[in-house]
Chain A
Amino acid sequence: MILVLGSSADRVYPTLLRRLDESGHPYIAVDEDHPEEYGIRREWTGNRWHFHIEGRHCGGGRSVNAIFVRHAVARTLNAHHLERMGALQRHLNAMLLAVECPVINRPSASFSNYSKPYQLELLSSAGFDVPKSLMTNMKEEAYRFYEEFDGQVVFKGVSNVLTLVQVLRPEKMARLDLLPHCPTLFQEYVAGDDYRVHVVGDRTFVTRLAAQDEDYRRSALMTDEEVIVEAASLPDEILSKCVALTRSLGLTVSGIDFKESPRGRLVALECNPFPQFTFYEGRSGQPITEAVVEYLINNATDETNVYV
């Protein structure tokens, strides 16, 4: 039995469940958007913990042999609902620390994208080229960086809170006055195509994205401009590093972002531990969800300590 922990309001969750359905392999989903319907019981027997998830379609007795996690996010400010969802996820995360079957991905290994500059250092240590970057809350330092790169600078948020990349154009310089309130990440602007590399175990899927906007997500999701999304390739050496980095972070699946300049300079930007791979496969036709399902089925263990 494969267990999927996620949210029915998310885009990955229904696609993954559909693919599991097609595979014919038994699975069950815990919809974290209905936290009041679930409970987790823990027992110490045979010198180890056993976890029983009960409620909704879960009777707490069927063995779980692999788990996919993509936690629900807050989509409401209803405090009561958020409290219950937080409590359920807290139980699940504590359970995931001790489960013995494969987990894509363990939440405890998935925090590195909390800080983009921290990830840049990880990417650099893994052997990737990275853009020169400055994290600061000082206007004069941001301006010095802007001058150093002849005005070819982008800025974005430091944390994993969603922000879209923007070019620091002269008309935006007045916003530097706000910097003392909040550190910001500035980077040399590497203009060119974007690449997303999805890693699934040892497999990689390279997707090229070309858009007019400096952030293709703005084109795709907000301004409805054309974005070219297609299967592509990158050197094997890069892909090997992607797999090695993913593994070193304790992850099985990741989405690593790159930018390639017209001169062929490839810089790594960040590594997403919970990538929304359905966005890419929906446009490029690459079978990423299928690869995730195959990984879960092929790596499912006989031994388990989780039951649904």
Chain B
Amino acid sequence: MILILSHEEDVLAYTVYRQLHKGGRMALRLDEAELFSSLPLALSIDRESRSGFLQVSDSRIALSDISGILLRPPRVWWPSPEFTFQDQLFVYHETTSAWFCLLSGLDCPLVNRYGLGWWVNDLAYPEQLRLTLAERLGLEADHGWPGLSFDNSVNRLVPTPARSSPESLHIYLVGGHLIPRSPGDRSAAAAIRSQASALRRWQKETGLFLCRLDLIQRECLQVRAVEPFPLFEEEETDLVRRVAAGITELLS
């Protein structure tokens, strides 16, 4: 059983679901609100083992029967307003913490196997990704200080779409595939591809099997940002299909 955990309007998740279905693979889509607010779960842990299940409608899905997961909850879910604000905060943290634990211990392919920085909304997490990627690939990190203005009141990680600009380059990293967003991004993809083994090590360390690399070409290629939760709603259909095909391959 493959699980697709996302927002119901996530175009990439929908495309992956369609491709899996077409290929005869059984996949179950669960919306973020259903996942966090009402899906019964149980996880047993002792010194030797872990086991558990999810209860979906009348069926129990053993954790050991899950063969792959596409994890794309945009985390817009928030507990019911019937709780006090303090209780809402508590329920939010308990719930997301529980799902982090349940998912992180699964052996199956998990796209993405997000690190704790993502789960706790650590605003330094994207900077950490950017610096480690640049270091591993021997590239420079762009000298900007992104998203760190005192005027910036955003207090959680927000998924982003690619933003076109004359100097920016965008490449989607999907498993071992580097997919340039446009023909102008091909040479940058080729340069990154030459560092394939370092890239694979970075993916293993970070758990990011799907992300967007935002680069900039100056005297040398620089890493401007790593988007661990790229949005595809504004992307060309063919690009979405190619990224989805890479994910389908990872999950199969």
**Chain A residues with CB below 8 A from B148, complex form:** 87, 90-91, 94
Q: A118-B104, A182-B90 are in contact. Are A112 and B55 (CB under 8 A)?
A: no
B127 x A94 contact (CB < 8 A): yes
Cross-interface CB contact of A130 among B47, B100, B117, cutoff 8 Å: B47
Q: A108-B128, A114-B119 in contact; A183/B41 too (CB < 8 A)?
A: yes
**Which of B93, B96, B101, B104 is most buried by chain A, counting CB atoms within 10 A of its CB?**
B101
State how many residues of chain A have any CB contact under 8 Å with chain B: 47
What is A's interface to B at a CB cutoff of 8 Å?
39, 42, 44, 83-84, 86-88, 90-91, 93-94, 96-98, 107-108, 111-112, 114-118, 120-121, 124, 129-130, 132-138, 141, 157-161, 180-184
- Looking at the assembled complex, report how far the CB atom of B77 sits from the nearest CB atom of chain A, in whole angstroms: 13
29 CB contacts below 8 A, A to B, read: A83-B153, A87-B150, A90-B123, A90-B148, A94-B123, A94-B145, A94-B148, A97-B124, A107-B124, A108-B117, A111-B117, A111-B120, A114-B97, A117-B45, A117-B98, A132-B44, A134-B44, A135-B43, A135-B52, A135-B101, A135-B102, A137-B98, A158-B94, A158-B97, A158-B98, A159-B98, A161-B94, A180-B40, A183-B41
Q: Is the CB of A114 within 8 A of B94?
A: no
Q: How distant is the Cα of A12 from the Cα of B239 in the complex, in angstroms?
A: 53
Q: Is the CB of A182 within 8 A of B47?
A: no
0 or 1 for each of B205-231: is its CB under 8 Å from A? (1 = yes): 000000000000000000000000000
| 5 closest A-B pairs by CB | A159-B97, A111-B116, A93-B124, A183-B98, A118-B101
User: Complex formed: what's the CA distance from A98 to B98 in Å?
Assistant: 31
Interface centre among B79, B104, B143, B153 (most CB of A within 10 A): B153
Instruction: Determine the residue in chain B with the shortest Cβ distance to A139.
Output: B40
Question: Chain B residues with Cβ under 8 A from A183's Cβ?
Answer: 41, 94-95, 98
CA distance A182 to B93 in the complex (A): 10
Besides A97-B127, A182-B91, 4 other CB < 8 A contacts? A90-B124, A115-B98, A133-B45, A183-B98
B90 with A161: CB separation less than 8 A = yes
